[in-house]
Amino acid sequence: MVKTLAVIGIGLIGGSFARALRAVGSVEHIIGIDTDPVNLAQALALKVIDQSAASLAEGVAQADLVFIAVPVHSISTVVAAIAPFLKPGAVVTDGGSVKDEVVKACEPLMPAGTSFVGGHPIAGTEHSGVAASFAELFTDRRCILTPTSATDSGALKLVSDLWGAAGSRVEYMDTLSHDRVFAAVSHLPHMVAFSLVHAVNRSAEEEENILAFSAGGFRDFTRIASSDPVMWRDIALMNRSALLDMFDRYTLEFTALRERVAAGDAEWLEEFFTTSKRLRDSIATR
Amino acid sequence: MVKTLAVIGIGLIGGSFARALRAVGSVEHIIGIDTDPVNLAQALALKVIDQSAASLAEGVAQADLVFIAVPVHSISTVVAAIAPFLKPGAVVTDGGSVKDEVVKACEPLMPAGTSFVGGHPIAGTEHSGVAASFAELFTDRRCILTPTSATDSGALKLVSDLWGAAGSRVEYMDTLSHDRVFAAVSHLPHMVAFSLVHAVNRSAEEEENILAFSAGGFRDFTRIASSDPVMWRDIALMNRSALLDMFDRYTLEFTALRERVAAGDAEWLEEFFTTSKRLRDSIATR
């Protein structure tokens, strides 16, 4: 399906994409590019890639498809750096978890005759690096593509077909809709968990028993507060607008709840908690 | 260790306490009392209890120890109802997850020559009723006892020894300290999760894709929002003071985070998330 694939950032996501396409025979030759020489050498040793490239320019020169799997903050910088070296007809796609700012920044950087397609595979593990990658990471997981009016239909079909070949269920969403969805179901919950850990730690400074009792349900509930700080810094900054909107929606609910607890409003509280349970249980069965 | 035990509310907690003490031979005779006749008949059929009592008065008349395992809001009502019928020297203890208001309400109700000991076994499953009870529920789980200056030392030793016999690690805490600890590590996280479900549901009214994508990490994170609404109504009301304090501590952190996201303060955000991760990971290894 693709003769030469270049993967920039050959870690968990980039490495798994390469492995998945290789496994189904959708690619002939894979070139890897990575800022970490140890990781890059490992990708070669593991035969995840056929060839490593010393520079972005060299890496993308022969590529029919370029997959950018670097931190979301660096995607447009990478696109700016590779743009002059892309061959005519080349398609560039990414795996960033914020889409509007990324796609808006990347599209104007693309030379005539090349195409950019925004993407976000909904998959991951708590591990990172090429050694953690595996061909089945995307199996039955969703991959969202975010075409715009500027997106070439042939390029979109190619990227869609490749994610399908990698095992994903491909869905299309506009960039702003994507960012609102993930602000709600992922980015806000992370902000809540990060804040909760800080608040409980502050109270533990006055009440030493708190830390001793935080090893139970609290530890499970705040598992996502253990996520990579730099990744979440970048997501918070790059999906700022949709995230601030969710901050405010959440604050409305939380403030209302605080007021009703303070007022001792038993009826309101039972109704609020009952609705929470019903909504959450309906999510669980979808 | 105890001749006759009366368990009021013979569900998951009450039933498991009875089974655990029976299994280690710490009790001779167990009387069960429950507002649900079907559950009570089942307790008898399962031999969790030796005898069912038709009334609180009849149930406690011969008891050396009374264990009250009813919803936290009803504990003092039960104590008021049984007080006139307790035999001299009887010890009454409870399993409620809020302690200051419960203990303050119950202690003055106890007749001279009887004793009340506040308790909170840190154990449970998502099931309820006597059919879900099992003797190992408390094995290696903590049980907090909250003695006051009014607590009889012999009564405290008896209750402590019985929880130890049931497999628990017994710890002592004053009632206010207990309530502050659980406001932080349990009650606040539940309030946060309940609010989060409401906020995401509101945003889903405008962005239909949100529900379709809430089946992943969001579902796991909000699992505790599926807890019993009536139980949480009562906890919110009965631990109001400590809970409101935690609401305010959390709001300080969350508001500061919102401001730094709005300001695009990358350095502050990275520091905040890094601290969250460090704090949460240090909890995990305790």
| Greater model confidence, A207 or A67 | A67
CB proximity list for A151: less than 8 A, separation 6 or greater: A115, A116, A117
Interface of A with B in 193-212 (CB under 8 A): 193-204, 207, 209-212
Interface of B with A in 244-273 (CB under 8 A): 244-247, 249-255, 257-258, 261-262, 264, 266, 269-270, 272-273
Q: Half-sphere exposure of B197 toward its Cβ, with a 13 Å CA cutoff?
A: 28
Residue A274, Ramachandran bin (φ over 0: left; ψ between -120 and 50: alpha; else beta): alpha
Structural domains in chain B plus CATH codes: 2-173 (3.40.50.720), 176-284 (1.10.3660.10)
Q: Write the ipTM.
A: 0.92
- From A180, A199, A216, residue closest to B122, measured CB to CB: A216
Any CB–CB contact under 8 A between A227 and chain B?
yes
| Whether residue A75 has pLDDT greater than 50 | yes
Query: Is A261 close to B254, i.e. CB distance below 8 A?
Result: no
The whole-angstrom distance between A117's CA and the closest CA on chain B is 20
Mean pLDDT of A141-155: 97
CB proximity list for B222: less than 8 A, separation 6 or greater: A189, A280, A283, B193, B196, B197
Q: Are B223 and B260 in contact (CB under 8 A)?
A: no
CB proximity list for A195: less than 8 A, separation 6 or greater: B250, B253, B254, B257
CB proximity list for B65: less than 8 A, separation 6 or greater: B2, B4, B5, B6, B90, B91, B92, B93, B158, B159, B162
CA A148 to chain centroid: 19
- The stretches in chain B having pLDDT less than 50 are 286
Q: What is the pLDDT of residue A286?
A: 46
Mean pLDDT of A104-111: 98
pLDDT digits (tens, 9 = 90+) for B18-56: 999 999 999 999 999 999 999 999 999 999 999 999 899
Give the type of residue at B249.
R
The whole-angstrom distance between A278's CA and the closest CA on chain B is 7
Query: Is A284 close to B203, i.e. CB distance below 8 A?
Result: no
Q: What is the pLDDT of residue B286?
A: 46
Q: What is the model's pTM?
A: 0.92
Residue B54: C-alpha distances to residues A236, A254, B32 (Å): 60, 44, 9
Query: Is A229 close to B204, i.e. CB distance below 8 A?
Result: no
Query: Is A261 close to B275, i.e. CB distance below 8 A?
Result: no
Q: What is the pLDDT of residue A285?
A: 54
Q: How many CB atoms lie within 10 A of CB B35?
A: 10
| Whether residue A36 has pLDDT greater than 60 | yes
Chain B residues whose beta carbon lies within 8 Å of the beta carbon of residue A207? 177, 180-181, 184
Chain A residues whose beta carbon lies within 8 Å of the beta carbon of residue B252? 199
| Whether residue A60 has pLDDT greater than 90 | yes
Cα three-residue angle B236-B242-B248, rounded to 5 degrees: 95
Q: What is the pLDDT of residue B283?
A: 80
Q: What is the pLDDT of residue A151?
A: 97
Residue B186 CA to residue B180 CA, distance in Å, equals 10
Residue B254 CA to residue B268 CA, distance in Å, equals 13
pLDDT digits (tens, 9 = 90+) for B1-12: 899 999 999 999
- The per-residue DSSP string of chain A comes to -EEEEEEES-SHHHHHHHHHHHHTT-EEEEEEE-S-HHHHHHHHHTTS-SEE-SSHHHHHTT-SEEEE-S-GGGHHHHHHHHGGGPPTT-EEEE--S--HHHHHHHGGGSPTT-EEE-EEE----S--SGGG--TTTTTT-EEEE---TT--HHHHHHHHHHHHHTT-EEEE--HHHHHHHHIIIIIHHHHHHHHHHHHHHHHHTT-THHHHTTTSHHHHHTGGGGS-HHHHHHHHHHTHHHHHHHHHHHHHHHHHHHHHHHHT-HHHHHHHHHHHHHHHHHHHT-
Query: Is B246 close to A199, i.e. CB distance below 8 A?
Result: yes
User: Across all residues in chain A, what is the average pLDDT?
Assistant: 95
Query: Is B229 close to A279, i.e. CB distance below 8 A?
Result: no
